[in-house]
Amino acid sequence: MNTINYRRFCLIILSLFFITGSLFSQMRERQTSSPQLMKAASGVADYVHYSTVGQLGLTVTNFGIIGEGYNNPNQPSCMYKQYPDNIKEQVEHMSYGGLWIGGIVNGDKRVTTAIIDGVFDYGSEGFEFTDNGDSIFERSSITTSPYYSPDAVSHQDFITQFHDMSPVVNHTPLNLIVNLQTHAWNYKFAEAFVILDYFIVNAGTNIIKDVYVGLWADAAVGNMNYTNYYEPGGGWSWYDNQNGFDRSLFDPIPDDDVPGFPRNIAYQYDVDGDNGYAESYVGYSCLGSETVPREYWDTQYNQWPWNSAVNMNYPDYFMPVNDEQRYDKMKTSVPPGTGDMFTEDGYPNTPGSWMILISAGPFGTQADNADSTSWAFYPGDTLNVVYAVGCGRWSTADLQDTPERRELLRANLDWAQKAYNGEDSNGNGVLDPGEDQNGNGKLDRYILPAPPPSPKLHIEVEAGRAVLYWNNIPEEHEDPVSRKKDFEGYRIYARRKTSGIDHEWTLLAQIDKKNDIGFNTGLDVLRIKDDYGTPSYEIFNSDTFHYKFENTGILNGWPDKNVYAVTSFDTGDPATGLPSLESSQLENRTAIVAGQTPADVQQEWTTGVYPNPYNARAKWDGFGVRDRMIWFYGLPDQSVIRIFTLAGELIKTIIHNASTYDGSDNATLKHLSGRNTVFSGGEHAWDLITDYDQAVATGLYLYSIEDIQTGKMKTGRFLIIK
């Protein structure tokens, strides 16, 4: 078995143990002689939630694991960018990762691990956290989101709980309950990281000494579009990745008297970049702790080859196989090496399938000695530790890993650190340690400069035409840092989407205030006005809209070809050097399928089919027999389409309702249903499959369209050529 297939084989095995109580039904089957490795029974194993608001798509579970192992081609594991302008930018970075917590109980070293490599040879270590019976709860600070909550911290919060007290073979638990909150934003400067905010409760009766909290990661940087992993013989090499640890200085407030601190980013990259398809970094960083000030804990870094307990080339970089070794790894970094076998920073200079372990500590809830070098975690207490997972494209074309090439990774994780650090009561950014710079108590965490929100968007669709309406709510936005109303204008975008890849947004129009900033068009250019030129509004579904923009020349019936968004942007802050910030197109992006509006049966109305004749395949067709599509148009609000053979046999009946039609009865359109997609209402697609679940043959067919409300009927015919 070659190395790539062996690695995939191992991941398949690993995935089989992630479900609690029973195997994942959709995973590949495998016989195993080690059933005791299965994770302890629990309630609901939730492995389908992933961050969607930004460019980093990170799967989060309710049992301590992050990532989904590249098992579902429709779900990112740790993908950046998940909404690319170019497929070379759509890179996966990690198959699986997970939480490690270690401590000393009555003199014994114990470590609870969500996941670890080597479980096939060394017993049931790993999978030692269990969900509490509930799936992941989601909330959002975006007021237009269906998950909106005033309690939300970010644009997308995931909230879950798990513990280590279920019976697991060969595991002595620390008796912990972990409450996890993840935070993600869609701001352009904050869309490349996800924050993992852990609140750890000592639910046992023992004092736990010198707690270390870490993330283990099977990072694997590769692009699914570079010989697709899911195709036979496809995928990239797992064994051409290299790791590093960035200790460069982070100083959030330059030129002040407060020193910065090391970034401490554990990172991985593909050595040769796969011909431009994998020129990206993944990084992990401990941002801080509300419980223990930064001056009393440090970050440690370790790495080792996949599933290798002995490393002949790098003896110090071995896989720990028991709790004592794992705790020692979490507590101490391997000293940087020297010579040709090491990088300039002192880490192994050999590409491979390297694991990452970044850990921080010691932590506790009370200092255990006078100089606070040791800490005790008491029963009933809660300990907080916060990590960030972030990504960044290579900043230079250099094939050598350099600080300059890591600039974007640093910048993205610096924003994660700034978000965690928050600000004091005077609006000043701070370094950490749970109090403001004047010692006035805890900080407001996760305060970021923010652009105005994207406005609420409504689109009316007609044949060859889309009319965009939006409200003026962003104009009252106050920046949370500067406390100023700094709204400047709106931008209207469109983009095409084909083969699952979003093409680059095209700026259709921009309007802004007349204030010597930007285009100075004035907002009245697209403001809705009455017959006398007075600003007015339109109301749709009880929502009020103040602006209007028309886009014409759109092809009818083309699914997911036209996607629109309206963003807001601010003036920036010249005093602090902050550039103009713009809201994300992801907030209100809306796909449309253009076509005729519902027919007015009180007037003379015309029906038809397009394309007619239908020649397989139309450009919108897929490759499967159910991926074909023709459109019926001229449909009343509520109507029945009946399709007959020339012999008069009824082969298909379609019920159409303009207000609810979402394309879900057609394979080519099904992915649009449930998403923010607008159909014209007067057209309905058919996949050329009969009511008898058979594909129609070449030939001439007859149809009738009946208006349900009046009984009026129209007829016609169409030709299918295969």
Q: Copy the structure tokens of residue 79.
A: 């993908």
Q: How many CB atoms lie within 10 A of CB 258?
A: 11
Alpha carbons 587 and 451: distance in angstroms, whole number: 12
Residue 481 carries which DSSP code?
A: T
Alpha carbons 653 and 716: distance in angstroms, whole number: 15
Q: If pLDDT is split at 50, 70 and 90, which confidence band does 125 have?
A: low
Which tens digit of pLDDT belongs to each residue from 333-354? 999 999 999 999 999 999 999 9
Q: Copy the structure tokens of residue 29.
A: 């089957």
Q: What average pLDDT does the chain have?
A: 86
pLDDT at 290 over 50: yes
Which tens digit of pLDDT belongs to each residue from 367-424? 999 999 999 999 999 999 999 999 999 999 998 999 999 999 999 999 999 999 875 4
Q: What is the dihedral of CA 328, 330, 332, 333, to 10 degrees?
A: 130
pLDDT at 534 over 50: yes
| The pLDDT of residue 497 | 59
pLDDT at 21 over 50: no
Sequence-separated (6 or more) residues with CB below 8 Å from residue 439:
none
- Angle formed at CA 254 by CA 248 and CA 255, multiple of 5 degrees: 125
| The pLDDT of residue 670 | 80
Which residue carries 């710079």 as its tokens?
437
| The pLDDT of residue 579 | 81
Alpha carbons 117 and 128: distance in angstroms, whole number: 13
Which tens digit of pLDDT belongs to each residue from 455-511? 999 999 999 999 999 999 999 998 887 788 999 999 999 987 554 455 578 999 999
Roughly how many angstroms between the first and final C-alpha of the chain, as a whole number? Answer: 43
Q: What SS3 string covers 47-64?
A: CCEECCCCCCEEEECCCC
The length of the chain is: 722
Which of 132, 103, 100 has the alpha carbon at shortest distance from 117? 100
Sign of CA dihedral 371, 374, 380, 383: positive
Which residue carries 């100023």 as its tokens?
484
Residue 273 carries which DSSP code?
A: G
| The pLDDT of residue 575 | 64
> Residue 312 burial (CB < 10 Å; 0-12/13-18/19+)?
exposed
Alpha carbons 394 and 401: distance in angstroms, whole number: 9
Count CA within 13 A, CB hemisphere, residue 511: 14
- The answer, as to whether pTM is greater than 0.85, is no
- Angle formed at CA 218 by CA 339 and CA 308, multiple of 5 degrees: 60
pLDDT at 8 over 80: no
pLDDT at 11 over 60: no
Alpha carbons 690 and 696: distance in angstroms, whole number: 7
Q: If pLDDT is split at 50, 70 and 90, which confidence band does 32 have?
A: very low
Which tens digit of pLDDT belongs to each residue from 645-701? 999 999 999 999 999 999 989 888 887 766 689 999 999 999 999 999 999 999 999
Higher pLDDT, residue 348 or 312: 348
Alpha carbons 103 and 362: distance in angstroms, whole number: 9
**Rg, Å, the chain Cα set:** 29
Contact, 666 vs 685, CB < 8 A? yes
Least confident of 12-16, 122-126, 417-421: 12-16
Which residue carries 């991941």 as its tokens?
11
Alpha carbons 522 and 525: distance in angstroms, whole number: 6
Mean pLDDT for the stretch of residues 67-74: 88
| The pLDDT of residue 187 | 87
| The pLDDT of residue 37 | 29
User: Counting runs of H as helices and runs of E as strands, what totals does the chain give?
Assistant: 4, 42
pLDDT at 24 over 80: no
Mean pLDDT for the stretch of residues 91-112: 96
Which tens digit of pLDDT belongs to each residue from 559-606? 767 899 999 999 987 666 678 899 988 889 899 999 999 998 888 889
Higher pLDDT, residue 23 or 295: 295
